[in-house]
Chain A
Amino acid sequence: MITEIVGDVIRPILGGLSLTARRLRRDKATVMYPEEKRELPPRTRWRHVLARYENGLEKCIGCSLCAGACPARCIYVEAAENTDEERYSPGERYAKRYEINMIRCIFCGFCQEACPTGAIVLRKDFELANYHRDDFIYTKEMLLEPLAIAGEQ
C-alpha cells in the first residue's frame, strides 16, 4: 500500500518538482512587459515612419507609389509643389497629405519596397492599440520622424 503510494504519487510529484527546480536555474523566457521590452528581430515590420534626410528634409516626394503597391488600399497621398520659400523635400514634389489607415494595413511592407526614396519604413513599434476608429488614421504629422531624432538611426 505505502510503496504503491510512494511509487505512483510522491515520486512523480518529486520528479516534476525537480524538473521545475532545474529549470529555475536557466534564463527566463518571459519579460515584464510593458515595463520591460524585448529587442525585436531586425526585419520586424510594424508601425510606419516617414523618414527624413540628415539635413531634416523629408524623404517622401508624394509619388503615391506606396498607395499603388498597397494591397489593402490603406494609403492616401496628396502631393503638392515645393517652392523656394516653403521647402519640404528636395526636388519639385512633396507629400502635402499622407495618411495610413492602420486598421486596414496588413503590414506587408510593400509600401516600403515600392518607395523610390526610402521614405516610408516599417519600424518596430508595435503598440498600436487605440480606443476610437478615427484614431487609427495616421496622418503625415504622426508618421513623420521628429526633427530632433532625425539622423540618429
Chain B
Amino acid sequence: MGSAAEQKLVKITVNGTEVEVPEGELIVESVKRLGLEIPIFCYHPRMKPVGMCRMCLVEVGFKQADGSVRMMPKPQAGCTLPASENLVVVTDSESIHRDRKGVLEFLLANHPLDCPICDRGGECPLQNNTIFYGPSTSRFIEVKRHLPKAVPLSEYVTLDLERCIQCGRCVRFTEEISGDSQLAFRFRGAEMQPSTFELTDFTSKFSGNVIEVCPVGALTSSKYRFRSRPWDLETKASICTECGNGCNVWLDYRSGKLVRINGRTNELVNEEWTCDRGKFGQEYIDSPERLDRVLLRKADALHESSWPEAMDAIAARFVESGDSSAMLVGPRATNEDLYLAREIVTKTFGSRNLDHRWTKNLPNNPEATAVHSRIADFETARAILIFGNDLSDEQPILYLRVRKAWSQFNVPVVVISDRATSADAFAEAVVRYAPGEEVEILTSLSGMVRGGGGSEDLKRASEILRGGFLLAASSSVFNSASGEATAVALRDLCASAGTPDGYNLFALGANEQGARDLGILPTEGGKDTKRILEACASGEVKSLWLLHCDPFSLYHDRGLVERALENVEFLVVQDILATEATLFASAVLPSCSHAEYEGTYTNIERRVQRVPRILPPKGSARPPWQVFCDLRLAATGAMPFFGPSEVMEAIAKEHSQFAGVSYSGLAGEGCVLASADSALASAGIEGGGG
C-alpha cells in the first residue's frame, strides 16, 4: 500500500486513450482506470495470474520511436501482461470480439445447459460473459459430455464436475490464500477436474470461499443448495458475530429467513474472505431451540408470562437485592446492550458485581488486554509473533492476513505454541512449550532478544524478533494457569524488541473488545466472574442476571456453575437460544439474534461497526438494550432511549474513546476507536480529532 506511491509510472495506450499506470500492473487491472472491462474467468485480483481461461485476450502492440505502432501478431492474455512504457492495448477490435466468442464457444461446448437448476444461475460470470461477449446461438449439436453431478466435497461444498470450466481459481485459493492446498487438479486436458487429494473430505477452515470464487456453478454450497434463486433474495450488509474479527458479510434472506452468508469486501478487515464458522455457522438464527416467549417460574415450573409481569418481578427482586445482585455478560451483545447493562447494574441495582470474562484467570490490569495494531498493519510488520492457541481457529481471518503478510510481503513469522498449529507450515521459527512453561520460555526469549545467550531452539526466534514485531495473541492465554504472568512476559518481550506498541491481546468473542472498552468489569470492590459464581453458590449473591451467556459452555468449572445456578435465589436468563442455564432460570427473557436488532459491535482491532435490523424478531423476543430501558423506567423513572443511536450518543459522551462516534458516521467501513491514552491526549491537546 505504502510502496504504491514510489512505483514508477508508465504511459500505455488503451483503445487510443493514453493513461499512466504503475509499471508492472496487469493490463486487466489497468483498463479499469478508464472504466473499461476485460472479461475474465480464471483471473482473480487477490491471486497470482495464470492465464488459463484465455477470456481476457487483448491485442497488444508497441509504439515505435517514429510514432508508428507495431502490433504483435497474436492476441495476448490481459491477465498475465504487465504494463510497460509505450504499450498499446486494444480491447475492442473486431478480431478480439471474435476471439472472445470463440473462447466462450469452447467453454460452453463442455458446459451443461442446466442454468435453471444451477445455484449460480442469475449471478454467474459465465452467464454474464456469454450474454455480453458470447455467440447468440449455439452450433453444438453433438452429445454433451456427462460427468458426476452433485459430488459432496465436504459437509459444506458440493462439486458439479460437468459445470467446471477448469479455471483453477479454487485450486489457487487453497494454495495461495488459505494455504492448506486441499484442492488440486487431477488428470489433464479436457479431463482435468479439481478434487481433493485421494478424494478425502475437503476439510479447510476456509472452504466456503471457493464457492464465491468459482466463476460457474461447479462449486456450490451444500447448505444453500436449491434454497433460493438470486432474484428471490433480499440482501443487507451486516457483520459476522462468530468471533471478534468482525468480518463484513452480506446476509441474504428470503421471507424473513436467513438463507446464506457471503463475504463483503472491506479491505481493512476481511478483504473479501469469510471463514466456514462465519459462513455456515449462523443457522442458530432460525433454530427451533430459539427462545421466543417470556417464561416465569411459578411453583417449580416455568410458565408463559408477559413482558410487563416479568419486568415487575425482576425489577423488584434486583433492586431489593442491591449489592447482592450480579450480572454476567456473554460475547454476543452490542455496545448499546453493554452500556445499558452497566448502567442498570451499577446505578439502578446499586451493585458492583459485573463481568464479561470467562477465562480461568481474570486479569486485573487493563494493560494486559491492550490492543495496539490494526488487522491491516500485519501486512507491513517487520515480523509477526503468534503466541498461544492456533490462530486459524481463534481468529481465522486474522490468520489469513498473517499468511498474506508472509506470502506476499515476506514478513517472517514466529510461532510459540504448546500445540501444532496451522501457521507452523510457513513460520520461520516454531517454539513449542509444555503447558505451564510459557512464562519461562518467554522470559528467556526476551533475554535473548536483548542480547543474552540461551538455548538453540529459541535462537532463530530471537533473531527474527529482535528488530521489533507485532504480536498476535488472544485472551485465551488467561486460560492457562499462569495467565496474567504470561501477559506480563509477552509485554516484556514486546518492549525488549523495542516495539511495546506491537503488543496485541485480541478479544475472542464478537463484542468482547466492546465489553473491555465499556468497562463491563467489577467496579471498585466488586466481584469478578469466579467470585460471582462462588457467591451465588454460597448464597451471598441472591439474584443473578445472565445476558447472552451460558456459563456451562463458557466457564471451565462445571461443578461451580451448577452449584451457583442451583443455589442462587433468583436467576434471570436473557438469551437467544435455550441453553442448559435456562433449566435453572426463575425468569427467561427471549432475546434477539444479531440479525434482528440494530446495534454496534467493536472488533478485535477496536473498529466499531454497525449492524442493521434485518430479520423480524422471533416471537416476543426483544433486544436487550430495550429491556434495560424499560427496567430503568420501571425502577427509577429514568427517561428511556428511543433508539440505539441515542444510546451511542450517551456512550460517546461518557467514554472518551468513543468521542465523535455517531451512528451516521458508522456507515461503510466503520470507525476505529482511539486508544485509551491517545483519546485522553487528543481530548486534552486538540480537543478530539476525527
Contact = CB atoms under 8 A, between A and B. Distances in A.
Nearest to B121: A63
Looking at A64, A91, A93, which has the most chain B CB atoms within 10 Å of its CB? A64
Interface string A74-117: 00010111000000000111000000000000000000000011
A93 B231 contact: no
B226 A93 contact: yes
Interface in B105-140: 114, 116-117, 121-122
Nearest to A61: B117
B116 A116 contact: yes
A79 B226 contact: yes
Contacts of B121: 63
A93 B149 CA distance: 12
Interface residues of B, number: 14
A68 B150 contact: no
Nearest to B229: A64
Nearest to B149: A92
A89 to B, nearest CB: 10
A117 B117 CA distance: 11
B225 interface: yes
B456 interface: no
B229 A93 contact: no
Given A81-B226, A93-B117, A116-B116, A64 B231 contact: yes
B655 interface: no
A79 B231 contact: no
Contact of A62 (B114, B122, B226): B226
Contacts of B46: none
Contacts of B225: 81
B232 A67 contact: yes
Nearest to A75: B232
A62 B227 CA distance: 10
A64 B226 CA distance: 10
B231 A92 contact: no
A65 interface: yes
A92 B150 contact: yes
B253 to A, nearest CB: 14
Looking at B116, B150, B225, B227, which has the most chain A CB atoms within 10 Å of its CB? B116
A78 to B, nearest CB: 8
A64 B227 CA distance: 11
Contacts of A116: 116
A71 to B, nearest CB: 13
A34 B227 CA distance: 43
A90 to B, nearest CB: 11
A64 B150 CA distance: 20
Contacts of B150: 92
Contacts of B116: 61, 63, 65, 116-117
Interface in A35-93: 61-65, 67-68, 77, 79-81, 91-93
A80 B226 contact: yes
A116 B112 CA distance: 14
B226 A68 contact: no
A132 B225 CA distance: 36
A79 B226 CA distance: 6
A93 B122 CA distance: 16
Interface in B445-494: none
Contacts of B231: 64, 67-68
Contacts of A117: 116
B117 A68 contact: no
Contacts of A63: 116-117, 121, 229
A50 to B, nearest CB: 15
A92 B217 CA distance: 14
A68 B229 contact: yes
Looking at B122, B226, B231, which has the most chain A CB atoms within 10 Å of its CB? B226
A64 B229 CA distance: 7
A79 B149 contact: no
A81 B228 CA distance: 12
A26 B122 CA distance: 57
A93 B115 CA distance: 12
Nearest to A79: B226
Nearest to A96: B226
B241 to A, nearest CB: 28
Contacts of A81: 225-226
Contacts of B229: 63-65, 67-68
B232 A79 contact: no
A80 B228 CA distance: 10
Contacts of A79: 117, 226-227
Given A63-B121, A91-B117, 8 more contacts: A63-B116, A68-B229, A68-B232, A77-B232, A79-B227, A81-B225, A81-B226, A93-B226
Interface of A: 61-65, 67-68, 77, 79-81, 91-93, 116-117
8 contacts: A63-B121, A64-B228, A65-B116, A65-B229, A79-B226, A81-B225, A81-B226, A92-B226
Interface of B: 114, 116-117, 121-122, 149-150, 225-229, 231-232
Name the 10 nearest CB pairs between A and B, nearest first. A63-B116, A93-B117, A64-B229, A79-B226, A68-B231, A116-B116, A93-B226, A61-B117, A81-B226, A64-B232
